[in-house]
Amino acid sequence: MNNKHSIFPKKLKLDTPDIFTYSESNSNNASQQHDEDGDDHVFTGIETPLRSDAFDKTDEQKIAEIEGHFKSIMEILGLDLSDDSLMGTPHRVAKMYVKEIFSGLNPYNKPSIKLFDNKYKYNEMLVEKDISFFSNCEHHFVPIIGKAHVAYVSSGKVIGLSKLNRIVEYYSKRPQVQERLTIQIAEEIKKAVASDHVAVVIEATHLCVSSRGVRDTSSSTVTSSYSGKFENEKVREEFLSYIY
């Protein structure tokens, strides 16, 4: 497969080479090194790192266990769990993790895609832009808030428009790094529409960058994936002209 996945700052030219940054600290302290790697948002692979026993437990078992652990975290922080306002928090957080913001870890929640024949013989690109999403940074567990722009050119089959939103939503409901989210969405759309002509651009703000750490509230991160016809500069420019 001949894919082009890249991450580049918003203002750079389109033909900017792929840029990935890695920490070069000489620290011997493993924990401190991991802190720094986390802030640099090192990306290790396309697949979400999951253990083989990831779904041995039911959602209900997971919620009960996380509730207990989150209660401990709150207690260690010194919070009084007998207070009416805090009492229900461990259960709420546990349920939110499993059923909402990390529900995309479970393949059972993957949207089912139905393919339709391309009856209108529409052979130009189809662009679905400004798909808003909420994800969470896997290095800090705080929100990533962004928009995805996706496009494909039919190879004879089409899917319902809302399915494109569903695919973005499914992969964003995981602990994520933006590069992986971009590639996972692109690969899933390729499979869904049975076409290699797929483009994905994601622009997002990371709360781990804006609300803590370097506290930069104005920067955003742009990532992209182009394959098939979208590797052609003219086709890519047409796509970008629709979204910017």
Which parts of this chain interact with Zn ion (CB under 5 A)?
137, 139-140, 208
Record the tokens describing residue 33, joined without a space. Answer: 């090194």
Q: How far is the CB of 175 from Zn ion (least distance, A)?
A: 10
- Which is the catalytic residue, given 36, 138, 231, 238? 138
Give me the helix-helix angle, 178-193 and 161-172, nearest 10°: 150
Q: Which is nearer to Zn ion, 49 or 107 (CB)?
A: 49
124 classed as catalytic: no
34 classed as catalytic: no
Q: How far is the CB of 136 from Zn ion (least distance, A)?
A: 9
Record the tokens describing residue 228, joined without a space. Answer: 């098939």
Q: Which is nearer to Zn ion, 111 or 175 (CB)?
A: 175
- Which is the catalytic residue, given 41, 67, 128, 140? 140
- Which is the catalytic residue, given 41, 128, 169, 208? 208
Q: How far is the CB of 212 from Zn ion (least distance, A)?
A: 9
d(CA 35, CA 91): 28
Instruction: Point out the residue whose Cβ comes nearest to Zn ion.
Output: 208
206 classed as catalytic: yes
Q: Which is nearer to Zn ion, 135 or 224 (CB)?
A: 135
Helix/strand/coil for 20: coil
Q: Which is nearer to Zn ion, 193 or 208 (CB)?
A: 208
Q: How far is the CB of 144 from Zn ion (least distance, A)?
A: 8
- Which is the catalytic residue, given 5, 67, 128, 139? 139
Q: How far is the CB of 142 from Zn ion (least distance, A)?
A: 7
Smallest CA-to-CA distance from 177 within 145, 121, 226, 139 is with 139
33 classed as catalytic: no
Residue 48 neighbours by CB under 8 Å, 6+ apart: 105, 174, 175, 176, 180, 184
Q: Which is nearer to Zn ion, 176 or 227 (CB)?
A: 176
DSSP category for residue 194:
T
Task: Give the residues across from 115 on adjacent strands.
Answer: 159
Q: Is 141 left (phi over 0), alpha (psi -120 to 50) or beta?
A: left
d(CA 169, CA 55): 20
91 classed as catalytic: no
Q: Which is nearer to Zn ion, 127 or 207 (CB)?
A: 207
138 classed as catalytic: yes
Question: Does residue 6 contact residue 202 with C-beta atoms inside 8 Å?
Answer: no
149 classed as catalytic: no
- Which is the catalytic residue, given 178, 188, 197, 203? 178
Burial 149-183 (b: 16+ CB within 10 A, else e): bbbbbbeeebbeeebbbbbbbbbbbbbbbbbbbbb
Q: How far is the CB of 119 from Zn ion (least distance, A)?
A: 45
Q: Active-site positions?
A: 137-140, 178, 206, 208
